[in-house]
Structure 1
Amino acid sequence: MEFKDTQAIYLQIADYINEQILLGKWQAEEKIPSVRELAVTLEVNPNTVMRTCELLQQQEIIANKRGIGYFIQSDAVKKIIAAKKAAFISNELPQFFRNLYLLDMTLDDLKPYYATFRQNKLNGHEN
Protein backbone atom coordinates (compact mmCIF):
# COMPACT_ATOMS: atom_id res chain seq x y z
CA MET A 1 0.00 0.00 0.00
CA GLU A 2 1.30 3.41 -0.91
CA PHE A 3 0.65 6.00 1.78
CA LYS A 4 0.02 9.71 1.25
CA ASP A 5 1.63 12.45 3.32
CA THR A 6 -1.67 14.29 3.71
CA GLN A 7 -3.24 11.92 6.27
CA ALA A 8 -2.02 9.86 9.22
CA ILE A 9 -1.08 6.30 8.23
CA TYR A 10 -3.41 4.69 10.76
CA LEU A 11 -6.34 6.60 9.21
CA GLN A 12 -5.32 5.46 5.72
CA ILE A 13 -5.25 1.87 7.01
CA ALA A 14 -8.74 2.40 8.46
CA ASP A 15 -9.88 3.59 5.03
CA TYR A 16 -8.31 0.48 3.48
CA ILE A 17 -10.12 -1.83 5.91
CA ASN A 18 -13.40 0.04 5.39
CA GLU A 19 -12.98 -0.28 1.63
CA GLN A 20 -12.40 -4.04 1.89
CA ILE A 21 -15.66 -4.28 3.83
CA LEU A 22 -17.61 -2.05 1.41
CA LEU A 23 -16.30 -4.00 -1.59
CA GLY A 24 -17.51 -7.22 0.03
CA LYS A 25 -14.01 -8.70 0.24
CA TRP A 26 -14.43 -8.95 4.03
CA GLN A 27 -17.92 -9.93 5.18
CA ALA A 28 -19.88 -9.13 8.34
CA GLU A 29 -19.12 -11.45 11.26
CA GLU A 30 -15.91 -12.54 9.48
CA LYS A 31 -12.48 -12.43 11.10
CA ILE A 32 -10.14 -9.88 9.61
CA PRO A 33 -6.41 -10.58 9.20
CA SER A 34 -4.43 -10.34 12.43
CA VAL A 35 -2.59 -7.18 13.44
CA ARG A 36 0.71 -8.84 12.51
CA GLU A 37 -0.61 -10.06 9.14
CA LEU A 38 -1.91 -6.61 8.26
CA ALA A 39 1.35 -5.00 9.39
CA VAL A 40 3.37 -7.31 7.14
CA THR A 41 0.98 -6.92 4.19
CA LEU A 42 0.88 -3.13 4.48
CA GLU A 43 4.57 -2.84 5.45
CA VAL A 44 3.90 -0.83 8.62
CA ASN A 45 4.63 -1.17 12.31
CA PRO A 46 2.17 -3.45 14.15
CA ASN A 47 1.56 -0.61 16.63
CA THR A 48 0.18 1.48 13.77
CA VAL A 49 -2.24 -1.31 12.81
CA MET A 50 -3.18 -1.68 16.47
CA ARG A 51 -4.03 2.03 16.60
CA THR A 52 -6.23 1.54 13.53
CA CYS A 53 -8.01 -1.39 15.15
CA GLU A 54 -8.65 0.64 18.30
CA LEU A 55 -10.19 3.41 16.18
CA LEU A 56 -12.39 0.98 14.23
CA GLN A 57 -13.42 -0.64 17.50
CA GLN A 58 -14.48 2.75 18.88
CA GLN A 59 -16.48 3.33 15.70
CA GLU A 60 -18.07 -0.13 16.18
CA ILE A 61 -16.87 -1.33 12.77
CA ILE A 62 -14.92 -4.23 14.25
CA ALA A 63 -15.03 -6.03 17.59
CA ASN A 64 -12.27 -7.85 19.45
CA LYS A 65 -12.91 -11.41 20.52
CA ARG A 66 -10.19 -11.80 23.09
CA GLY A 67 -7.63 -14.39 22.11
CA ILE A 68 -9.24 -14.94 18.70
CA GLY A 69 -8.91 -11.65 16.85
CA TYR A 70 -10.96 -8.86 15.34
CA PHE A 71 -14.27 -9.50 13.64
CA ILE A 72 -16.41 -7.28 11.43
CA GLN A 73 -19.59 -6.11 13.13
CA SER A 74 -22.88 -7.15 11.56
CA ASP A 75 -23.87 -3.54 10.81
CA ALA A 76 -20.39 -2.37 9.76
CA VAL A 77 -21.38 -1.58 6.16
CA LYS A 78 -24.23 0.67 7.31
CA LYS A 79 -21.95 2.52 9.75
CA ILE A 80 -19.13 2.94 7.23
CA ILE A 81 -21.50 4.31 4.57
CA ALA A 82 -23.08 6.75 7.03
CA ALA A 83 -19.66 8.02 8.17
CA LYS A 84 -18.31 8.27 4.62
CA LYS A 85 -21.41 10.13 3.43
CA ALA A 86 -21.14 12.63 6.28
CA ALA A 87 -17.42 13.17 5.60
CA PHE A 88 -18.05 13.56 1.86
CA ILE A 89 -20.83 16.09 2.38
CA SER A 90 -18.84 18.21 4.83
CA ASN A 91 -15.33 17.86 3.38
CA GLU A 92 -15.50 17.27 -0.37
CA LEU A 93 -18.87 18.45 -1.61
CA PRO A 94 -18.31 22.17 -0.93
CA GLN A 95 -15.15 22.18 -3.09
CA PHE A 96 -16.89 20.07 -5.73
CA PHE A 97 -19.78 22.56 -5.90
CA ARG A 98 -17.34 25.46 -6.02
CA ASN A 99 -15.57 23.88 -9.00
CA LEU A 100 -18.88 23.28 -10.78
CA TYR A 101 -19.79 26.92 -10.22
CA LEU A 102 -16.41 28.23 -11.39
CA LEU A 103 -16.51 26.03 -14.49
CA ASP A 104 -20.13 26.97 -15.21
CA MET A 105 -21.20 23.32 -15.11
CA THR A 106 -24.36 21.67 -13.86
CA LEU A 107 -24.98 18.28 -12.35
CA ASP A 108 -26.69 17.32 -15.60
CA ASP A 109 -23.39 17.95 -17.41
CA LEU A 110 -21.82 15.23 -15.28
CA LYS A 111 -24.44 12.52 -15.80
CA PRO A 112 -22.77 10.94 -18.88
CA TYR A 113 -19.44 10.76 -17.04
CA TYR A 114 -21.02 9.16 -14.00
CA ALA A 115 -22.93 6.70 -16.20
CA THR A 116 -19.66 5.67 -17.89
CA PHE A 117 -17.95 5.32 -14.52
CA ARG A 118 -20.73 3.09 -13.17
CA GLN A 119 -20.76 0.98 -16.31
CA ASN A 120 -17.00 0.44 -16.06
CA LYS A 121 -17.39 -0.63 -12.42
CA LEU A 122 -20.19 -3.03 -13.31
CA ASN A 123 -17.99 -4.52 -16.04
CA GLY A 124 -15.16 -5.01 -13.56
CA HIS A 125 -12.85 -2.29 -14.86
CA GLU A 126 -10.81 -0.28 -12.39
CA ASN A 127 -11.17 3.53 -12.55
Structure 2
Amino acid sequence: MDEFDTYKPIYLQLADRIKLLIVSQELKAGEKLPSIRDMAIFYNVNPNTIQRTYSELEREDILVTKRGQGTFVTEQKEQLADLRGILKEEQILMFVQEMKEMGYNPDEIILGLQHYLKKGRGYE
Protein backbone atom coordinates (compact mmCIF):
# COMPACT_ATOMS: atom_id res chain seq x y z
CA MET A 1 0.00 0.00 0.00
CA ASP A 2 1.18 3.49 -0.78
CA GLU A 3 2.50 5.67 1.99
CA PHE A 4 0.70 8.86 2.90
CA ASP A 5 2.17 12.31 2.34
CA THR A 6 2.75 14.48 5.39
CA TYR A 7 1.63 17.67 3.63
CA LYS A 8 -2.09 16.79 3.67
CA PRO A 9 -4.37 15.10 6.23
CA ILE A 10 -4.74 11.35 5.67
CA TYR A 11 -8.53 11.51 5.53
CA LEU A 12 -8.33 13.97 2.62
CA GLN A 13 -5.78 11.79 0.83
CA LEU A 14 -8.13 8.83 1.23
CA ALA A 15 -11.02 10.95 -0.05
CA ASP A 16 -8.94 11.80 -3.12
CA ARG A 17 -8.21 8.11 -3.70
CA ILE A 18 -11.90 7.24 -3.50
CA LYS A 19 -12.76 10.06 -5.90
CA LEU A 20 -10.23 8.68 -8.40
CA LEU A 21 -11.75 5.21 -8.06
CA ILE A 22 -15.17 6.69 -8.82
CA VAL A 23 -14.03 8.80 -11.78
CA SER A 24 -12.11 5.85 -13.26
CA GLN A 25 -15.23 3.68 -12.88
CA GLU A 26 -13.51 1.24 -10.54
CA LEU A 27 -16.28 2.24 -8.14
CA LYS A 28 -19.58 2.69 -9.94
CA ALA A 29 -22.68 4.74 -9.11
CA GLY A 30 -24.66 2.98 -6.40
CA GLU A 31 -21.83 0.60 -5.51
CA LYS A 32 -21.31 -0.25 -1.86
CA LEU A 33 -17.99 0.70 -0.28
CA PRO A 34 -16.19 -1.52 2.22
CA SER A 35 -17.15 -1.07 5.86
CA ILE A 36 -15.27 1.48 7.93
CA ARG A 37 -13.52 -1.34 9.75
CA ASP A 38 -12.48 -3.11 6.53
CA MET A 39 -11.20 0.11 4.98
CA ALA A 40 -9.25 0.93 8.13
CA ILE A 41 -7.57 -2.47 8.01
CA PHE A 42 -6.85 -2.18 4.27
CA TYR A 43 -5.25 1.27 4.59
CA ASN A 44 -3.74 0.54 8.02
CA VAL A 45 -5.35 3.61 9.60
CA ASN A 46 -7.61 4.28 12.56
CA PRO A 47 -11.32 3.64 11.87
CA ASN A 48 -12.00 7.24 12.92
CA THR A 49 -9.92 8.36 9.91
CA ILE A 50 -12.12 6.33 7.57
CA GLN A 51 -15.24 7.68 9.26
CA ARG A 52 -13.97 11.19 8.67
CA THR A 53 -13.17 10.35 5.03
CA TYR A 54 -16.65 8.95 4.44
CA SER A 55 -18.23 11.93 6.23
CA GLU A 56 -16.27 14.36 4.05
CA LEU A 57 -17.38 12.59 0.88
CA GLU A 58 -20.98 12.56 2.14
CA ARG A 59 -20.74 16.29 2.76
CA GLU A 60 -19.62 16.65 -0.87
CA ASP A 61 -22.61 14.49 -1.98
CA ILE A 62 -20.30 11.85 -3.45
CA LEU A 63 -21.19 9.12 -0.95
CA VAL A 64 -24.48 8.23 0.70
CA THR A 65 -24.85 6.27 3.93
CA LYS A 66 -27.96 4.14 4.27
CA ARG A 67 -28.65 3.22 7.86
CA GLY A 68 -28.14 -0.47 8.45
CA GLN A 69 -26.93 -1.06 4.87
CA GLY A 70 -23.62 0.74 4.55
CA THR A 71 -22.00 3.50 2.52
CA PHE A 72 -22.56 3.78 -1.23
CA VAL A 73 -21.38 5.86 -4.16
CA THR A 74 -24.11 8.36 -5.01
CA GLU A 75 -26.38 7.50 -7.91
CA GLN A 76 -26.78 11.18 -8.83
CA LYS A 77 -25.36 11.27 -12.35
CA GLU A 78 -25.01 15.06 -12.30
CA GLN A 79 -22.95 14.95 -9.10
CA LEU A 80 -20.65 12.31 -10.58
CA ALA A 81 -20.27 14.31 -13.81
CA ASP A 82 -19.38 17.38 -11.73
CA LEU A 83 -16.78 15.36 -9.82
CA ARG A 84 -15.25 14.16 -13.09
CA GLY A 85 -15.09 17.74 -14.38
CA ILE A 86 -13.54 19.07 -11.18
CA LEU A 87 -10.82 16.42 -11.14
CA LYS A 88 -10.06 17.08 -14.81
CA GLU A 89 -9.73 20.82 -14.17
CA GLU A 90 -7.43 20.20 -11.20
CA GLN A 91 -5.14 18.01 -13.30
CA ILE A 92 -5.08 20.51 -16.17
CA LEU A 93 -4.27 23.33 -13.77
CA MET A 94 -1.32 21.43 -12.28
CA PHE A 95 -0.05 20.46 -15.74
CA VAL A 96 -0.29 24.00 -17.13
CA GLN A 97 1.34 25.52 -14.03
CA GLU A 98 4.28 23.12 -14.31
CA MET A 99 4.67 23.80 -18.04
CA LYS A 100 4.62 27.57 -17.42
CA GLU A 101 7.27 27.16 -14.70
CA MET A 102 9.44 25.42 -17.32
CA GLY A 103 8.99 28.40 -19.63
CA TYR A 104 6.46 27.06 -22.13
CA ASN A 105 3.85 29.42 -23.57
CA PRO A 106 0.22 28.36 -24.23
CA ASP A 107 0.83 27.60 -27.92
CA GLU A 108 3.82 25.39 -27.11
CA ILE A 109 1.82 23.56 -24.46
CA ILE A 110 -1.08 22.90 -26.86
CA LEU A 111 1.21 21.78 -29.69
CA GLY A 112 3.15 19.50 -27.37
CA LEU A 113 -0.03 17.93 -26.04
CA GLN A 114 -1.47 17.47 -29.53
CA HIS A 115 1.76 15.84 -30.69
CA TYR A 116 1.79 13.56 -27.67
CA LEU A 117 -1.81 12.45 -28.20
CA LYS A 118 -1.38 11.92 -31.95
CA LYS A 119 1.37 9.41 -31.20
CA GLY A 120 -1.22 7.49 -29.18
CA ARG A 121 0.68 7.77 -25.92
CA GLY A 122 -1.34 7.31 -22.81
CA TYR A 123 -4.14 5.40 -24.54
CA GLU A 124 -2.62 1.97 -25.01
Q: Shorter-chain TM-score: which interval?
A: 0.7 to 0.9
Instruction: Kindly indicate whether residue 45 of structure 2 is the aligned counterpart of residue 44 of structure 1.
Output: yes
CA distance in 2, matches of 1:114, 1:45: 42
Q: Does the CA contact (< 8 Å) of 1:63 and 1:72 recur in 2?
A: yes
When residues 92 and 19 of structure 1 are mapped into structure 2, their CA distance, relative to the original with a 3 A threshold, is: same
Give the aligned length. Answer: 118
The match for 1:106 is 109
Shift of 1:86: 4.6
Equivalents in 2 of 1:7, 1:114: separation in Å? Answer: 32
Distance 1:20 1:99, change over 3 A: same
2:54 paired residue number: 53
Partner of residue 123, structure 2: 119
CA displacement, residues 20-52 of structure 1 (integer Å, 9 cap, x when unaligned): 111212111111111111111111111111111
Given the two structures, how large is their TM-score scaled by the length of structure 1?
A: 0.78
Q: Which residue identity does 1:62 align to in structure 2?
A: L
SS across alignment from 2:85: helix
Q: Which residue of 2 aligns with 1:79?
A: 82
Question: 2-side partners of 1:10 and 1:45: how far apart?
Answer: 10
Stretches of structure 2 lacking an aligned partner (at least 5 in a row): none
Contact 2:99–2:109 (Cα < 8 Å) also in 1: no
Residues 74-112 of structure 1, C-alpha deviations (whole Å, 9 max, x = no match): 1253132133245446x5255235235x14633202323
Q: Secondary structure at the match of 1:16?
A: helix
What is the root-mean-square deviation of aligned Cα atoms in Å?
2.2
State the alpha-carbon separation in 2 of the partners of residues 62 and 110 from structure 1: 34
Amino acid at match of 1:96: E
The equivalences for 1:2-17 within 5 A come to 2-17=3-18
Q: Aligned partners of 1:119 and 1:53: how far apart in 2? A: 32
49-58 or 91-100: bigger deviation? 91-100
TM-score relative to the length of structure 2: 0.79
Letter in 2 for 1:44: V
